[in-house]
Chain A
Amino acid sequence: MHFLDFEKPVAELESKIEELRHLSDADGMNIAEEVGRLQQKVEKQLRAVYAKLTPWQKTQVARHPERPHCLDYIKALFTDVTPLAGDRLYGEDQAIVGGLARFRGQAVVVMGQEKGHDTDTRLRHNFGMAMPEGYRKAQRLMDLADRFRLPVLTLVDTAGAYPGVGAEERGQAEAIARTIQAGLNLRVPMITCVIGEGGSGGAIAIATGNVVMMLEHAIYSVISPEGCASILWRSGEMAQQAAEALRLTAQDLLEFKVIDEVIPEPLGGAHRDRHAMFEQLGAAFEGHLRELTPVEGGVLRARRREKFLRMGREGLN
């Protein structure tokens, strides 16, 4: 297990438990009682630490290398998964994955940014930083969903759209803009969850849902804390302060009414109990789908537009 800096006390306890287990294996001693006691301590520690994570700590949890990523959720929650590839214009970008699938029996289109979990997959998925091709594939999938009346489920997890020469030449800005437009124009339910990092324009491109949820320790921001710090503080080392100032936690966004729901994570973050996390998000998707599926297409579109149009004028509260 990869431990974050602020998880040090937990890490120590867990290594003690591990040692004891080895001892008991070797000597046949019964130390169950001691292990149980230590495990309670671990839980207490985790509860204490995770109850008051700072925005910067949440940023680290959201980027935790063992945090479940888009494809993990797709594998766990969907059946008949049929990935679709390519934007029919230039290429195939695996930073955004998606396709046709069934969610608890219901035919849907699912898509999201995939960061990868080891060197191989990280490179294949370009660390979840999409090119214009990725966004144009997303548009294609949205159009498909619209034509065949399939709800769209999106899983957002990206540091941002890829900043590169090719991406600019092929119209990164235009690709993102059109994807936002495509999402807002859908006449089918669109349900979004930010599962890790919601990085700026690259994230909102596929985050224009009728319902937008965030996992408890996910972040969603106009700019990364590091980027913000280097511009406004002129020092990347002020990222911690920038994370505070940006108000990028799920709890902040709920308060601003930018998102509709915060999905609780298992104790110690999604990576500590993946299956519980999958279940939790699955239940949330199911609830919203049940509610939105009967709603007429034009109404879905109008409501979605209204919802985003409100973010500013009537403001907050």
Chain B
Amino acid sequence: MNWLTTFVRPKIRSLVGSKEVPENLWRKCPACDHMLFHKELEKSWQVCSHCGHHMRLPVRKRLELLFDGGTWTPIELPPIPQDPLKFKDLKRYSDRMKEAQAKTGEKEAIIVAHGWLMGIPVVVAAFDFSFMGGSMGMAVGEGLVAAAELAVLQRASLIVIPASGGARMQEGILSLMQMARTTVAVQRVKDAGLPYMVLLTDPTTGGVTASFAMLGDIAISEPGAVIGFAGARVIQNTIRETLPDGFQRAEYLRDHGMVDLVVNRADLKATLGRILSILLRRDPPAEVLALSLDADSGRSGTRATPPAGDVEEAARRDGQAEAHDEAEPEEDEA
């Protein structure tokens, strides 16, 4: 433990009184055990300032990070049949759904929105891992189909951001069919000559990986994200050997030729903007600033996270080996 936990934290507690200090004021980095103040974490988009570990970013934060001015227009997804199997395990599926909805405040495990990214029109379909593990059932499939259709209609680029354990078992075979369905959907975007980008976030596994998520024109991932088809535990039970270091992590996939780039969260937007502008043969991108005044908080890592010494700098440089031209001049004009 460090002085933050042993000294600062009790001190704050004694000052404010334990009742008023929510437990989540401090968070321990799961990678380096460093205690991180929640406000700092929020500013750094849930990236540990000490070791550069990328924690999961809530879906709406993700959209805020990527869309210009942190604003977007969500689209309402058409209603789909509920609980077609009348599925019940230890709990009813319908109850699990209600719980997930109450917990997250979302209707389903996907948000579809359109707006601008560095001045480029985009449609984004982002998974919400906190909603039943981001599992893909008919509604999520519908979200992807709707996103693809909207992209074609608007002649916008499609960015899909999976964060999912795979198909939603509670919808049985109908969830499996979403693999074919979403493949048709993204094919339409490709046929229309529009870029289809996939940003693989932690975790992306199972039927989601084995369909639209691996079909991007370009595949980008965040550092350390788990990406794979079969779960590590299943593989371990099958082969009865220990798994290699870093197995199914983003860097491992990149080294095995499965993703193009591993990009730090702070550089995601600029990287996506740069790639899209080249694919679309547009001028270098310029972010269109909306009303929000602190909209630049997510644009560059150096500003998003306050400097905290050499260790952090080195860690960040390591993580950025694959996105070394982060100092893009054009991303700063607005």
Contacts and interface: CB of A to CB of B under 8 A. Distances in A.
A311 B180 contact: yes
Contact of A177 (B210, B228, B230): B210
Interface in B49-82: 78, 80-81
B244 A165 contact: yes
Interface residues of A, number: 53
Main secondary structure of the interface of B (DSSP, over half): helix
A161 interface: yes
A163 B169 contact: no
Contacts of B174: 256, 258, 311-312, 316
Interface string A170-209: 1111101110110011000000000000001100110010
A200 B176 contact: yes
A10 B229 CA distance: 42
A303 to B, nearest CB: 12
B90 A231 contact: no
A227 B185 CA distance: 29
B85 A204 contact: no
Contact of B212 (A177, A221, A232, A316): A177
Interface residues of B, number: 57
A164 interface: yes
B90 A167 contact: no
B87 A245 contact: yes
A110 interface: no
Interface in B193-251: 206-207, 209-215, 227-231, 234-235, 238-239, 241, 243-244, 247-248
Interface stretch (B25-33, B117-125, B137-145, B319-327): B137-145
A210 to B, nearest CB: 12
Contacts of A316: 81, 84, 174
Nearest to A310: B181
A220 interface: yes
A201 B256 contact: no
Contact of B181 (A173, A222, A241, A312): A312
A258 B179 CA distance: 13
B275 interface: no
A169 B177 contact: no
A308 B176 contact: no
A52 interface: no
A208 B247 CA distance: 31
Contacts of B212: 177
B89 interface: yes
Contact of B213 (A177, A227, A234): A177
A172 B173 contact: no
Contact of B89 (A205, A245, A252, A312): A245
A163 B181 contact: no
A256 B176 CA distance: 13
Interface string A296-311: 0000000001001101
Interface in A227-285: 227-228, 231-234, 241-242, 245-248, 252-253, 256, 258
Nearest to B85: A247
The listed residue with most A CB atoms (<10 A of its CB), out of B173, B175, B181, B187, is B173
B187 A176 contact: no
A256 B84 contact: yes
A313 interface: yes
B302 interface: no
Contacts of A181: 183, 187, 215
B307 interface: no
A172 B84 contact: no
Nearest to A185: B187
A223 interface: yes
Given A232-B90, A245-B88, A316-B81, A176 B229 contact: yes
A200 B243 CA distance: 24
B89 A242 contact: yes
A311 B172 CA distance: 12
Interface in A117-165: 161-165
Contacts of A242: 89
Contact of A168 (B80, B187, B228): B228
B35 interface: no
Contact of A245 (B85, B142, B183): B85
B295 interface: no
A315 interface: yes
Contacts of B179: 177, 180, 201, 204
A167 B230 contact: yes
Nearest to B241: A165
B107 to A, nearest CB: 15
Contact of B184 (A170, A173, A204, A309): A309
B215 A311 contact: no
Contacts of B157: none
Nearest to A313: B142
B184 A305 contact: yes
B167 interface: yes
A201 B169 contact: no
A171 B229 CA distance: 8
Interface of A: 161-165, 167-174, 176-178, 180-181, 184-185, 200-201, 204-205, 208, 220-223, 227-228, 231-234, 241-242, 245-248, 252-253, 256, 258, 305, 308-309, 311-313, 315-316
Interface of B: 78, 80-81, 84-85, 87-90, 138, 141-142, 145, 167, 169-181, 183-185, 187, 206-207, 209-215, 227-231, 234-235, 238-239, 241, 243-244, 247-248, 256-258
Given A200-B176, A256-B84, 12 more contacts: A172-B210, A173-B229, A177-B179, A177-B213, A180-B180, A204-B176, A222-B169, A232-B89, A232-B169, A256-B174, A309-B181, A315-B84
